[in-house]
């Protein structure tokens, strides 16, 4: 992840002040597509739908911003993307 963290956008899921998951997307050669580069949820919170909510937030953001299509694959405070 260290080699591509500065690329694309990062979405963060929080429970209070604790970061419980994140998703990172990067642009593709086709402006209508993006790549889901990384998706992770802390082990203690897996199975609660946090990853699904992160993917949903990514797709919603990309659909409204760029008309992008998902190429790869609530209540948790999924934040707006944070550029690095």
CATH number of the CATH domain containing 13? 3.40.630.30
Confidence tier at 7 by pLDDT (50, 70, 90): confident
Average pLDDT over residues 24-48: 89
Give the C-alpha separation, 36 to 24, whole Å.
Answer: 6
- Does some domain include residue 4? no
Confidence tier at 33 by pLDDT (50, 70, 90): confident
Q: Residue 11: name the closest of 44, 50, 47 by CA.
A: 50
Residue 32 is predicted with a pLDDT of 76
H/E element holding 63? helix 50-66
Quote the number of domains for the chain.
1
- Does some domain include residue 43? yes
Confidence tier at 61 by pLDDT (50, 70, 90): confident
Q: What's the predicted TM-score (pTM) here?
A: 0.69
- Does some domain include residue 57? yes
- Does some domain include residue 61? yes
The residue to which tokens 């998902």 are assigned: 70
Quick one: tokens of 21? 């998951």
Phi-psi region of 63 (alpha: psi -120 to 50; beta: other; left: phi over 0): alpha
Average pLDDT over residues 61-69: 61
Angle (CA) 17 18 23, round 5°: 115
């Amino acid at each position: 992840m260290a080699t591509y963290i500065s690329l694309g956008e990062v979405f963060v899921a929080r429970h209070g002040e604790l970061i419980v998951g994140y998703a990172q997307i990067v642009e593709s050669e086709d402006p209508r597509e993006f790549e889901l580069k990384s998706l992770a949820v802390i082990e203690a919170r897996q199975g609660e739908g946090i990853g699904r909510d992160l993917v949903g937030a990514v797709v919603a953001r990309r659909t409204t911003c760029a008309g992008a299509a998902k190429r790869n694959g609530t209540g948790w405070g999924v934040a707006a993307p944070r550029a690095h």
